Chain A
Amino acid sequence: MLPGGIYNETYGQEMAILRTPFRWALLIALLVLAIVLPMLASAYVLAFLCYVGVFVIAVMGLNILSGYAHQVSLGHAGFVVVGAYATAFLSTRLEWPFWVTVPCAGLIAALVALVFGTPSLRIKGFYLAMSTLAAHFIISWGVMRLPWLPVGTYSVPVAIPSLGGIPLTSDRHYYYLLLVYVVVMALFARNLMRTQIGRALLALRDNDIVAQAMGINVFRYKLIAFGLAGFYAGVSGALWGYWVGVVSLEQFSFWESVWYLAMVIVGGMGTTLGPFFGTLFIRLLMELSLNFGGWMLGAFPSVGGHIVGGLSFMANGLALVLFLIFQPRGLAHAWDIIKTRAMIWPFSYEARRGGGDAM
C-alpha cells in the first residue's frame, strides 16, 4: 500500500520493489542492523541466526514452488538432501572449492527436482503433492544406497569451506557469508516475480486451465518452478553441509518436508517476507520448546528425554493448524495489516480491502 499523495505514474514506478525513499532507507537500515548484529549477539543467538539463514534459502525455493505457483510440494527436504550429499561428494571426493560446489549442488538438486516435477504434466493439486511425497522417500532411500558411500553408513563429512584461501570456521564468518547468500537469493526471487516467468507462475496459480488457454505453456513453467525450488534447496543443503561439517540422513526426515511447508504457510504463501517470517517463527518455536523441554526435564527428571522432541512437534503442528484456521495468509499478511493500520489510522483496515501489494 502506498502512502498518501504518492501515485504510480510510470510503469517503472508501478513495478518498483522499493517505491519510496523511506522504504529504501528502511532496507538499508535493516541491512546495517544485520551486519552489526554478530558483534552484539551471543554465540547462541549467532548460531541460531546461521541456522535460520540456511533454512530460509530452502523455504524461499519452496515459496516459489508452492507459494507463487501453488504446486504444493511435500518433498522439499528430499531436494535439500540431494544438495547436501552432492556437496559432501564434491568437496571431499573431487575436492572442488567452496564457491564451485555450492552452485553445483544447487544445479544437481534442480535436476532431481525437474525429474520429480515431470508428473506435473499430467497431475495437479493433491495428486502432485502425493507424488512429491513419494519423491521425498524415494530420494532419501536412494541417497542411502549411493555407490560411493561407505557401506553401512550414511553420514558423510564435508570439507571445511574456504574463500580465497581463508578457511571459514567460525560462526561469525559463516554468518556474513550466509547474509550475502540470503540477500542475493531473496532479491532474485523477488525480482523473478516481476518478470515474464513470475507472471506466468502467478497465472498458473490463479487458474492453470485459463493460463493454458491464453497461451502460457503450463508444463514448461511448472518445470521451471520445480527447478528453481530444487536449486534453492540444493544451495541450502550445501550451505548446511558446510556449516555442520557432516551430512546425515537423520537431519532430513519427512518431518523436515512438513516443516518447510509449514514455514511457507505460516510466513505467508507467495510473499517476499513470508519465508523470513515463517522460518524465524517456526525455528523460534522449536528453540523455545527445546529449552522448555530441557527445563522440564531438569525440574521433573522422571519424565523421559523424549519429552523434548515431542514438544517441538506439538508446537510446530499446533502452529500450522492454528495459522491455517485463523490466519491462512500468514504472518506476512498480518504484518501488512499492521502497516496499513498504522498508515491509515483512525480509519479501519477493512476499508482498504482489495488494495495492497499482490506480490
Chain B
Amino acid sequence: MFFQLLVAGVALGGLYSLLAMSIVLIYKGTAVLSIVHGQFVVFGGFILWAFLSLLGLPLSVGLPLTCAVIATMGFLLQRLALQPLIGQPFFAPVMVTIGLFGFLHGVLLLTFGPRSERLDLVPEVVASLGRVSVSSSQVLGLAATALVWALLIVFFRYHRMGLAMRAVAQGHHIAQSTGIPVKRVFSVTWAVSAAIASLAGVLIASFQGLDIVIDFWGLKVMAVVLFGGLESIPGVVVGGIALGLFETLAAGYVDPLIGVGASDIAPYVAMLLILIVRPHGIMGLRRIERV
C-alpha cells in the first residue's frame, strides 16, 4: 500500500506544484501574493467543461481557448484591480486578491451554480506495475507539470519577455529605468500565470472531478508556496511533491485512526508546521528587515 500511496502522492504533488508555480510567478514578478488563483483554477475547469460539453468543441480547440480566456481574466484583474495599488504597502494588493477571490466565487455561483461534473481529458486507463496501479490522469498531470516547468525554464532564460520579468522581479525601479515597461510586464505576468493556473485547474478536474470547492486549492497550495520559499520555482516543485506525499500518506495511515478526513486538513497542518519551523521555506530568501 505504501507504494500506491507514494504514486498517488507524487501525482497529486505534481498538480500542487503546477498551481504553486503560477503563484510564485506572480510573486517573483510583481511582489504580490495572490489568493485569487484558486478561482483561475476552478474557472479553467468549468470553462473547459462548458466548451467541451455544452459547445461540443474538441479538446485541441477547447484547451487553448480556455487558457486564453483565463489569461484575459488575469490580465484584466491586474489592470483594473491591482494597477491602482502599485506603490502601496505589501498587504493592500493581497487584500484586494482576497476580495477578488470572494467576488469571483460569487460569479462562479452565478454562472455555473453549485454543481459537480466530470471532465475527462483522456480515456481513463489504469496500468498496473506489480501491486501499484497508475492511472492515465495521474501520468497526464505529471507530464503536464514537467512540461510547464521546462517551458518556464526556457522562457525565463531565452525569451525577451521572460528576461524582462526576471529584471522586473529583481527591481522594479531599475527595470523601469532601463526601458522595460514594468506595468506591461505585470499584466503579462498575470496573464501567463492565470493560464498556468487554468491548466492546473483542468488537470485537477480530470483527476478529481469538477466541483466549485476546487477554488480552495488556491488556499491549500499556499503551503507549497511557503515551503519552497516564496520566490523559488524549483522549491515549489519539491514542495508540491512533499505536500502531495504528506497528504496521501496522512490519508492512508492517519485516517484509520481518527476517521475519514485527515487529507482535508493535511495542507493546513503542513502550512502551520512550515510557518512554525521554517517560515521562509527551504529555498527562499530570508528577509532582513531594516528600520
Interface residues of A (CB under 8 A from B): 72, 74, 119, 122-123, 125-127, 129-131, 133-135, 137-138, 141, 144-145, 207, 209-210, 213, 254-255, 258-259, 261-262, 265, 304, 306-307, 309-321, 324-325, 328
A311 touches B110 (CB 8 A): yes
Nearest chain B CB to A302 CB, angstrom units? 12
Q: Looking at the complex, which one of B92, B103, B291 makes contact with A210 (CB distance below 8 Å)?
A: B291
Measured between beta carbons, the chain B residues less than 8 angstroms from A319 are 99
Interface string of B87-130 (1 = CB under 8 A from A): 01011101110111111111111100110000000000000000
A325 touches B81 (CB 8 A): yes
Measured between beta carbons, the chain A residues less than 8 angstroms from B226 are 127, 130
Q: Looking at the complex, which one of A126, A307, A313, A328 makes contact with B90 (CB distance below 8 Å)?
A: A126
Measured between beta carbons, the chain A residues less than 8 angstroms from B101 are 258, 317
Residue of chain A at shortest CB distance from B107: A314
Measured between beta carbons, the chain A residues less than 8 angstroms from B261 are 141, 144-145
Measured between beta carbons, the chain A residues less than 8 angstroms from B259 are 145
Measured between beta carbons, the chain B residues less than 8 angstroms from A315 are 106
User: B interface, by DSSP: helix, strand, loop or mixed?
Assistant: helix
B105 touches A134 (CB 8 A): no
Nearest chain B CB to A135 CB, angstrom units? 7
B107 touches A123 (CB 8 A): no
Known: A313-B103, A316-B103. 20 other contacts (CB 8 A): A127-B279, A133-B222, A134-B268, A134-B269, A207-B291, A254-B219, A255-B105, A259-B102, A307-B110, A309-B106, A310-B108, A311-B110, A313-B106, A313-B109, A319-B99, A321-B96, A321-B103, A324-B95, A325-B84, A325-B96
Assuming the contacts A126-B33, A134-B275, A324-B85, asked whether A317 and B103 have C-beta atoms less than 8 A apart, the reply is: yes
Assuming the contacts A141-B264, A209-B289, asked whether A321 and B110 have C-beta atoms less than 8 A apart, the reply is: no
Is B258 an interface position by the 8 A CB rule? yes
Complexed CA–CA distance, A307 and B258 (Å): 37
Measured between beta carbons, the chain B residues less than 8 angstroms from A74 are 98
B114 touches A306 (CB 8 A): yes
Residue of chain B at shortest CB distance from A137: B268
Nearest chain A CB to B186 CB, angstrom units? 16
Nearest chain B CB to A126 CB, angstrom units? 6
Q: Looking at the complex, which one of B88, B105, B114, B222 makes contact with A130 (CB distance below 8 Å)?
A: B222
B272 touches A131 (CB 8 A): yes
Complexed CA–CA distance, A125 and B92 (Å): 12
User: A interface, by DSSP: helix, strand, loop or mixed?
Assistant: helix
B271 touches A133 (CB 8 A): yes
A130 touches B271 (CB 8 A): yes
Tally of contacts, chain A with chain B, CB under 8 A: 134
Measured between beta carbons, the chain B residues less than 8 angstroms from A126 are 33, 90-91, 94
Nearest chain A CB to B115 CB, angstrom units? 9
Is B147 an interface position by the 8 A CB rule? no
Residue of chain B at shortest CB distance from A305: B113
Measured between beta carbons, the chain B residues less than 8 angstroms from A320 are 95-96, 98-99, 102
Complexed CA–CA distance, A101 and B113 (Å): 40
Measured between beta carbons, the chain A residues less than 8 angstroms from B291 are 207, 209-210, 213
A135 touches B279 (CB 8 A): no
Complexed CA–CA distance, A310 and B268 (Å): 26
Residue of chain A at shortest CB distance from B278: A122
Measured between beta carbons, the chain B residues less than 8 angstroms from A130 are 222, 226, 271, 275
A314 touches B275 (CB 8 A): no
Measured between beta carbons, the chain B residues less than 8 angstroms from A213 are 291
Complexed CA–CA distance, A144 and B262 (Å): 12
Complexed CA–CA distance, A249 and B268 (Å): 18
Assuming the contacts A265-B95, A325-B81, A328-B92, asked whether A137 and B289 have C-beta atoms less than 8 A apart, the reply is: no
Instruction: Please provide the 5 A-B residue pairs with the shortest distance between their CB atoms, ordered closest to farther.
Output: A317-B103, A313-B106, A310-B109, A314-B106, A320-B99
